[in-house]
Homo-oligomer: A and B are copies of this chain.
Amino acid sequence: MTTDRYQQGMDKLKELTTPDENNPTGHMEVGESFKDIAPDLTQMVVEFAFGNVYSRPGLDNKQKVLTTISALVAQGTPQIGMHVITGLKVGLTPDEIAGCIMHLIPYVGFPRSLSALKVAQDVFAEQGVAISEEMAEQLKNR
């Protein structure tokens, strides 16, 4: 069954990723690798997470990804990397992504922030991006 909600979700997904022939949903894992154990997972992710939630007004895409990353840092869940890539795709700068993880130290403690920082560091290296020289300079001289 293809619902309107599903279509809404697929449309939203295209804003958040760069699909190609091999990956119609781009870098986003939306449940395709779980077809054998949960054949309806992709449908749930697309209808609910993208059709109901990401399509909602209120926040722009950059704010949505910032909010997502913040919650995952707090939870200590390992799926942060995928959302860092989405963040870069929708226009969050490395300064904003690193800034978000550092900002959370007083709320979630050093261990969770440092685990997330390592993930972001690895994604930045893979994607060939880095924090701006301007920010680096300011942070060295505080």
Contact = CB atoms under 8 A, between A and B. Distances in A.
Interface of A: 1, 3-5, 29, 31, 34, 36-41, 43-45, 47-49, 52-59, 63-64, 66-68, 70-79, 94-96, 98-112, 114-115, 117-118, 120-121, 124, 130-131, 135-136, 138-142
18 contacts: A1-B141, A1-B142, A5-B5, A36-B136, A37-B94, A43-B52, A49-B106, A55-B142, A56-B99, A57-B95, A67-B103, A67-B104, A68-B104, A71-B73, A76-B76, A79-B111, A107-B109, A107-B111
Contacts of A100: 58-59, 63, 67
Q: This chain: how many copies in the complex?
A: 6
Contacts of A142: 1, 40, 43, 52, 55
